[in-house]
């Protein structure tokens, strides 16, 4: 059975991704022969022009990217012992293949690598700071586990996910949520928590979910998502929580936990101050604040003031964290360590994939509709990692409109609204809405769709909860519950 599932996952990945790259291979040699290298004397256009005119990588260079994503999807399930001990070496080795090729065989390859390194450091700095700061806050609910109380936690967690990230909100709420329902905790309680708090809830801000933060780093304005998709987010969250209440009404109420009479107790509340520092630091970037100092340009280093603040905050939050809260949350660094290693490989190996998909979209603009972007982005976000999936299809959408992912001004024009080159087609904002919604929402379709999913699953298993298997999660919960809701979202908002 495991072998059959593995084969299906691999075939699904290759069937969705490989046609893009296979057809693009026809154009690689022609484009490499016709594109010209910039003159070194032309300093007025600089790095942006270099990215626009750099030749495409060979199609085979996408293989490390596809292989790494397949192994991330299957390793913990089919060869867990090997994966647990070897995943750092696998991620680093596959990333090194692409890095060496770009460093020695690609024009402007070193520039691409340095730019990717900057994005990786920004990405991991935010996740680390949120993970450590939230891990030092212990919440206790002294009330009865019942449908309305649980629904309130899920709705509150959905909002909180946009302030401290799906990782932070999941870490903060999963244990008090389980303690609240002690004696009545069922598998669906954990599944709906993953649906809402660990995924769909974080769909309004770049802090909420990694795909949106990567889009922010590429040039999408910070408040673009909340101002354009809040109504889609609200309808979806209310629909999922509504289904949860129907499930939860069938379970008897739990007993009221003993306490000192307070409904809510918080241990380690000073860590909210650290979370506030992290949130403020997100804005400390030249792309957000005009004239803000850039260490990258001043000192030629791959990080800025924002990243220094985030890592410093993480260090202080852990060193000064409340010991009782850390023990109560069973805090350790293993989850963030795994994310750090895996994303080194992901960020490196996805460079050629981004370039090839963007080029393919430019050549096949008529074939890329809003519907196609929504379902392709969603499908891959469910079975693979939603962060690189978001970037891949955002690059494709930019290519359709004749824009380039490597250009900050192009991304900003895309987010602000660019007319489609196809008569009667939707503008660029609708495409970005579809990609953003699908990447975040569909991450809830499997345990591997988003980083917090497996973390919540592991915490629940350690607490003795009967958590569904990988296949049961998909066929018993996500497909019958989420897929119809996502279908309605597509029909109402993106059936263009």
- The yes-or-no verdict on residue 364 having pLDDT over 70 is no
The string of pLDDT tens digits covering residues 120-133 is 898 889 888 988 99
What's the Rg (C-alpha) of the chain? 22
Which burial class, exposed, middle or buried, applies to 215 when counting CB atoms under 10 A from its CB (0-12, 13-18, 19+)?
A: buried
Confidence of residue 257 (pLDDT cuts 50, 70, 90): low
Better-predicted residue by pLDDT, 5 or 406: 406
Over residues 253-277, the mean pLDDT reads 78
Residues paired with 267 in a beta bridge = 138
489 backbone dihedrals φ, ψ, rounded to 5°: -60, -45
Confidence of residue 384 (pLDDT cuts 50, 70, 90): low
Within-domain flag for 8: no
CA-based torsion, 109, 113, 115, 119: positive or negative: positive
What pTM does this model have? Answer: 0.77
Tokens 């922010």 found at: 216
Within-domain flag for 315: yes
The string of pLDDT tens digits covering residues 178-206 is 988 888 889 999 999 999 999 999 999 99
Give CA separation, 350 vs 26, 68, 171, in Å.
Answer: 20, 10, 28
- The yes-or-no verdict on residue 10 having pLDDT over 90 is no
Over residues 292-314, the mean pLDDT reads 89
Within-domain flag for 94: yes
Q: Tokens in use for 195?
A: 């649906």
**Cβ-based neighbours of 487, under 8 Å, separated by 6 or more:** none
Better-predicted residue by pLDDT, 452 or 191: 191
The string of pLDDT tens digits covering residues 319-330 is 999 999 998 888
If DSSP states are collapsed to H, E and C, what string results for the chain?
CHHHHHHHHHHHHHHHHHHHHHHHHHHHHHHHHHCCCCCCCCCCCHHHHHHHHCCCCCHHHHHHHHHHHHHHHHHHHHCHHHHHHHHHHHHHHHHHHHHHHHHHHCCCHHHHHHHHHHHHHHHHHHHHHHHHHHHCCEEEECCCCCHHHHHHHHHHHHHHHHHHHHHHHHHHHHHHHHHHCCCCCCHHHHHHHHHHCCCHHHCCCCCCCHHHHHHHHHCCCCCHHHHHHHHHHHHHHHHHHHHHHHHHCCCCCCCCCCCCCCCEEEECCCHHHHHHHHHHHHCCCCCCCCCCCCHHHHHCCCCCHHHHHHHHHHHHHHHCCCHHHHHHCCCCCHHHHHHHHHHHHHHHHHHHHHHHHHHHHHHCHHHCCHHHHHHHHHHHHHHCCHHHHHHHHHHHHHHHCCCCCCCHHHHHHHHHCCCCCCCCCCCHHHHHHHHHHHHHHHHHHCCCCCHHHHHHHHHHHHCCCCCCCHHHHHHHHHHHHHHHHHHHHHHHHHCC
Number of domains in the chain: 1
Within-domain flag for 107: yes
Give the whole-angstrom CA distance, residue 284 versus residue 309.
9
Q: Which residue range forms the structural domain that includes residue 283?
A: 66-494
Please count the other Cβ atoms lying within 10 Å of the Cβ belonging to residue 184: 17
The chain-wide mean pLDDT, for the chain, equals: 82
Confidence of residue 30 (pLDDT cuts 50, 70, 90): very low
Over residues 415-433, the mean pLDDT reads 85
Within-domain flag for 58: no
The string of pLDDT tens digits covering residues 77-91 is 788 889 888 999 999
**Cβ-based neighbours of 196, under 8 Å, separated by 6 or more:** 154, 155, 157, 158, 237, 240, 241, 244
Confidence of residue 53 (pLDDT cuts 50, 70, 90): low
- The yes-or-no verdict on residue 52 having pLDDT over 70 is no
- The yes-or-no verdict on residue 12 having pLDDT over 60 is no
Within-domain flag for 35: no
Give the whole-angstrom CA distance, residue 393 versus residue 264.
43
Q: Could you tell me if 380 and 17 are in contact, meaning their C-beta atoms sit under 8 angstroms apart? A: yes
Q: Could you tell me if 232 and 486 are in contact, meaning their C-beta atoms sit under 8 angstroms apart? A: no
Give the whole-angstrom CA distance, residue 293 versus residue 159.
32
Note the pLDDT of residue 46.
Answer: 41
Note the pLDDT of residue 18.
Answer: 44
- The yes-or-no verdict on residue 256 having pLDDT over 70 is no
Within-domain flag for 392: yes
Tokens 């895309």 found at: 414
Note the pLDDT of residue 440.
Answer: 96
Inter-axis angle of helices 370-383 and 386-400, nearest 10 = 160
Distance of CA 478 to the CA centre of its chain: 18
Q: In this prediction, what percent of the chain has a pLDDT beyond 90?
A: 35
Within-domain flag for 118: yes
Note the pLDDT of residue 54.
Answer: 61
- The yes-or-no verdict on residue 254 having pLDDT over 70 is no
- Going by C-alpha positions, the residue among 377, 485, 367, 480 that lies closest to residue 433 is 377
Please count the other Cβ atoms lying within 10 Å of the Cβ belonging to residue 250: 9
């Amino acid at each position: 059975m495991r072998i059959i599932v593995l084969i299906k996952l691999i075939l699904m990945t290759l069937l969705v991704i490989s046609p893009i790259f296979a057809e693009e291979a026809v154009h690689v040699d022609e484009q490499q022969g016709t594109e010209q290298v910039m003159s070194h004397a032309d300093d007025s256009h600089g790095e942006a022009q270099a990215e626009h005119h750099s030749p495409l990588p060979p199609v085979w260079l996408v293989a490390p990217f596809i292989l790494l994503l397949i192994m991330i999807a299957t390793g913990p399930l089919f060869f867990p012992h090997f994966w647990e001990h070897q995943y750092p070496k696998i991620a680093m080795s596959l990333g090194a293949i692409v890095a060496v090729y770009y460093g020695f065989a690609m024009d402007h390859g070193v520039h691409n690598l340095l730019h990717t390194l900057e994005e990786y450091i920004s990405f991991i700095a935010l996740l680390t700071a949120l993970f450590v700061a939230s891990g030092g806050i212990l919440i206790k609910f002294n009330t009865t586990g019942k449908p309305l109380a649980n629904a309130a936690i899920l709705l509150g967690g959905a909002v909180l996910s946009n302030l401290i990230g799906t990782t932070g909100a999941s870490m903060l709420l999963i244990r008090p949520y389980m303690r609240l329902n002690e004696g009545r905790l069922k598998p669906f309680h954990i599944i709906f928590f993953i649906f809402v708090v660990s995924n769909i809830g974080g769909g309004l801000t770049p802090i909420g979910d990694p795909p949106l933060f990567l889009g922010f780093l590429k040039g999408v304005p910070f408040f673009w998502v909340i101002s354009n998709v809040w109504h889609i987010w609200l309808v979806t969250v209310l629909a999922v929580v509504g289904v949860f209440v129907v499930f939860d009404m069938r379970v008897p109420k739990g007993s009221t936990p003993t306490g000192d009479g307070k409904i809510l107790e918080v241990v380690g509340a000073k860590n909210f101050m650290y979370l506030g520092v992290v949130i403020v630091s997100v804005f400390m970037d030249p792309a957000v604040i005009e004239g803000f100092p850039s260490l990258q340009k001043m000192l030629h280093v791959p990080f800025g003031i924002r990243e220094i603040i985030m890592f410093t905050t993480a260090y202080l939050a852990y060193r000064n964290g409340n010991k009782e809260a850390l023990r109560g949350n069973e805090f350790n660094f293993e989850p963030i360590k795994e994310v750090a290693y895996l994303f080194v490989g992901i960020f490196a190996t996805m460079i050629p994939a981004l370039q090839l998909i963007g080029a393919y979209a430019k050549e096949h603009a008529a074939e890329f509709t809003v519907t196609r972007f929504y379902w392709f982005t969603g499908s891959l976000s469910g079975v693979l990692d939603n962060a690189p999936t978001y970037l891949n299809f955002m690059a494709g959408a930019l290519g359709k409109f004749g824009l380039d992912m490597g250009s900050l001004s192009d991304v900003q024009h895309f987010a602000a609204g660019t007319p489609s080159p196809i008569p009667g087609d939707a503008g660029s904002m609708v495409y970005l809405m579809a990609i953003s919604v699908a990447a975040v929402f569909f991450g809830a379709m499997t345990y591997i769709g988003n980083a917090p999913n497996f973390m919540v699953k592991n915490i629940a298993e350690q607490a003795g909860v009967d958590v569904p298997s990988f296949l049961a999660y998909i066929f018993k919960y996500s497909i019958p519950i989420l897929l119809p809701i996502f279908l309605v979202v597509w029909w109402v908002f993106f059936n263009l």
